[in-house]
Amino acid sequence: MPQKITIVIVGGVAGGASAATRARRMNESAEIILLEKDEHVSFANCGLPYYIGGEIAERQKLLVATAELLRTRFRIDVRANQECTKIDRGAKQLAVWDRLKQEDYELAYDKLILSPGASPLVPPMENADAPGVFTLRNLADADKIREHAVKTSARKAVVVGAGFIGLEMVEQFHRLELKVALAELQTQVLPPLDPEMSYPLEKALRDRDIQLYLGDGIAGIMTDERGNASGVKLQSGEAATGDLVVLGLGVRANVQLAKDAGLEIGATGGIAVNRFSQTSDPDIYAVGDAAEYPYGPTGKQQRVPLAGPANRAGRLAGEHAATGSSAEMPDVQGTAIVRAFDQAAGITGLSMKMARRLGFDPLSVTIAANHHAGYYPGAKQLALKLIFAKESGKILGAQCAGIEGVDKRIDVIATAMQMGATVRQLAGVDLCYAPPFGSAKDPVHMAAFSACNYLDGVDTFLESDADLEGRQVIDVRTPKEVSAKPLAGADHAVPIPVDELRQRLGELDPAKPTVVSCGVGIRAHAAARILRQNGFSDVQNLSGGALVREWAVAKRTTE
């Protein structure tokens, strides 16, 4: 029989509620106390933007596990509005502030699970607390934003930060028929992605007249005569006016409580834990946005403030605290996805820029292909970028942008990464195929085939944003395609259709560094192979063809 111990969990939602319920299932005898400083112990925080925009119509739907359910089904002593203010590790005792009664009390624990989450970052600036300035972290925040956006005469919203939540808020404000401005310090939306892969999403925003201020950070909040927010002052001096401002500038891990208790803080600012989610004090666990996780692509610990890892870590910590199980927290890959309008963009593992920053020697290929068989109605094009280690071929990351099927490709590659796979192994995955669902050669295969070609020296890929000056550029598309959309940033490209290439080799200089491009890279591969076998000593395939080139050049010129 499991021990009669007292497990106290500080913080509900994803990590804490998962820990509490798993602990109960593993240990009927334990006393399990869940302290939550806010009103709701568990709610769907990822659903908040959709509730604000009305896409999720009922607020009730967001309350995934009510206090009542946790009490009756799991016999958890749920205490909302209770804030843990101090951990006395020697006495194994907490100081708790009851926000309703406005009084302190002490609470003993045998095992303590910290799930304090993170707080929205708000930089020190003028009028940061003016009415009409919001951050979005919990239901109360969502209620306030919704109230302001729907019930006042608000006509324009300013969103600051083009990360996941920022983009979701832009879409939902637009859905509410507000004009929207979006400001982002980076020169691209969705900064975790490489610039060119973020462009389809950026274009989806521009097509809907979202005012974009890229490469421009927030300097302060502007207010009207009554002191209400009237927009955002940007570092460039520009002003983005609006009736409400939502700050989506990322989060700061809530580690003060842990720090004050002398628990070790990791290199990335989260609470340091081992594979059992134990902190430097083995009776204290940390999970969720405040903790660090083993990050697959680097093998190091880092913060990954996402719901998936929080849920899994919470569950494992609850189990370990309740019974001392041997189940370890697996690596996380930082897999994430966002939808804005009809566009989705997903990522797993490292981007190319991050891989370089971390000192990897990464290679990448980008392909574009239909999300299901092209001959079956409704096929939508997606772009898939695969990043891998030059020596080992190990997959380091992937990004996908498109309208349909983005999540599937990212999940397949994230799964392969979880198993430590190389691009060679990825080329062999046996995916399901029927015309409404995929292709016999899936985009995942096409990307992996290209990567294997790259490793084997069969084809070499040039990144889509490369400077093509001084190179012999051959555009192997048909004349009609070339005139409809010339290859961006390559006025000197020589148009020779792939099907004429063998006959027209005499027009080219085999000694010159040569780049071949087509629509998305498939014909260019055939062309590159012809050139390489006809005495051209330096041939590269422009990754992603004219399609991705256009995105890359568009991003290059905005920088």
Report, as residue numbers or ranges, the catalytic residues. 46
Length of the chain: 559
Tokens standing for residue 208:
């809907």
Residue 95 in the binding site for a copy of itself (CB under 8 A): no
Among 122, 307, 403, 508, binds a copy of itself (CB under 8 A): 307
Among 98, 281, 411, 538, binds a copy of itself (CB under 8 A): 411
Among 154, 251, 287, 336, binds a copy of itself (CB under 8 A): 336
Residue number, 130 or 306, with CB nearest to a copy of itself: 306
Burial 148-175 (b: 16+ CB within 10 A, else e): bbeeeebebbbbbbbbbbbbbbbbbbbe
Residue 433 in the binding site for a copy of itself (CB under 8 A): yes
DSSP string covering 479-534, please?
Answer: HHHHHHSPPTT-TT-EE--GGGGGGGGGGS-TTS-EEEE-SSSHHHHHHHHHHHTT
Binding mask 242-261 for a copy of itself (x = CB under 8 A): --------------------
Q: Smallest distance from the beta carbon of 359 to a copy of itself, in angstroms?
A: 23
Candidates 42-50, 100-108, 197-205, 234-242 — which segment interacts with a copy of itself by CB under 8 A? 42-50
Which residues are within 8 A (CB) of 111 and not within 5 positions of it... i.e. 6 or more apart?
5, 6, 7, 8, 283, 284, 285, 321, 322
Residue 90 in the binding site for a copy of itself (CB under 8 A): no
Residue 299 in the binding site for a copy of itself (CB under 8 A): no
Identify each DSSP E strand in 82-168 by its residue range. Answer: 82-88, 93-98, 103-108, 111-114, 118-120, 133-134, 156-160
Residue 431 in the binding site for a copy of itself (CB under 8 A): yes
Among 407, 486, 494, 554, binds a copy of itself (CB under 8 A): 407
Residue 533 in the binding site for a copy of itself (CB under 8 A): yes
Which residues are within 8 A (CB) of 185 and not within 5 positions of it... i.e. 6 or more apart?
161, 215, 216, 217, 218, 235
Binding mask 485-504 for a copy of itself (x = CB under 8 A): -------------xx--x--
Which residue bears the tokens 């063998």?
A: 502
Q: Smallest distance from the beta carbon of 56 to a copy of itself, in angstroms?
A: 6
Task: Say whether 408 sits in a helix, a strand or coil.
Answer: helix
Amino acid in position 243: D
Among 250, 330, 486, 513, binds a copy of itself (CB under 8 A): 330
- Residue 141 and residue 128: Cα distance in Å, rounded? 15
Q: Smallest distance from the beta carbon of 269 to a copy of itself, in angstroms?
A: 21
Tokens standing for residue 201:
């999403």
Is 440 within 8 Å of 446 (Cβ atoms)? Answer: no
Q: Smallest distance from the beta carbon of 459 to a copy of itself, in angstroms?
A: 9
Tokens standing for residue 175:
């859905």
Element (H, E) at 79: strand 77-80
Residue 509 in the binding site for a copy of itself (CB under 8 A): no
Q: CA separation (Å) from 98 to 83, 85, 559?
A: 6, 10, 50
Task: Scan residues 151-170 and list those touching a copy of itself (CB under 8 A).
Answer: 164, 168
Residue 40 in the binding site for a copy of itself (CB under 8 A): no
Residue 421 in the binding site for a copy of itself (CB under 8 A): yes
SS3 track for 185-207: CCCCCCCCCCHHHHHHHHHHHHH
Candidates 3-11, 138-146, 327-335, 359-367 — which segment interacts with a copy of itself by CB under 8 A? 327-335
Q: For a copy of itself, how many residues bind (rule: CB under 8 A)?
A: 101
Task: Scan residues 359-378 and list those touching a copy of itself (CB under 8 A).
Answer: 373-377
Residue number, 176 or 554, with CB nearest to a copy of itself: 176
DSSP string covering 464-488, please?
Answer: TT---TTSEEEE-S-HHHHHHSPPT
Candidates 100-108, 153-161, 333-341, 357-365 — which segment interacts with a copy of itself by CB under 8 A? 333-341
Residue 446 in the binding site for a copy of itself (CB under 8 A): no
Q: CA separation (Å) from 373 to 228, 252, 433, 436?
A: 53, 44, 9, 7
Among 217, 529, 538, 556, binds a copy of itself (CB under 8 A): 529
Identify each DSSP E strand in 208-316 by its residue range. Answer: 211-214, 218-223, 229-234, 239-241, 244-247, 251-253, 284-286, 292-295, 300-303
Residue number, 240 or 410, with CB nearest to a copy of itself: 410
Residue number, 234 or 321, with CB nearest to a copy of itself: 321
Task: Report the helix count and the strand count for the chain, using DSSP H and E.
Answer: 15, 30
Among 111, 385, 471, 523, binds a copy of itself (CB under 8 A): 523
The candidate with the shortest Cα–Cα distance to 40, out of 91, 1, 81, 94, is 81
Residue 46 in the binding site for a copy of itself (CB under 8 A): yes
Radius of gyration of the chain (CA): 26
Q: Smallest distance from the beta carbon of 114 to a copy of itself, in angstroms?
A: 19
Residue 350 in the binding site for a copy of itself (CB under 8 A): no
Task: Scan residues 448-487 and list those touching a copy of itself (CB under 8 A).
Answer: 449, 452, 456, 458
Task: Scan residues 47-86 and list those touching a copy of itself (CB under 8 A).
Answer: 47, 50, 55-57, 61-62, 64, 72-75
Among 79, 137, 146, 312, binds a copy of itself (CB under 8 A): 312
Which alpha helices (DSSP H) does 137-245 contain, by range? 139-146, 164-175, 195-207
Q: Smallest distance from the beta carbon of 185 to a copy of itself, in angstroms?
A: 23
Among 187, 298, 418, 460, binds a copy of itself (CB under 8 A): 418
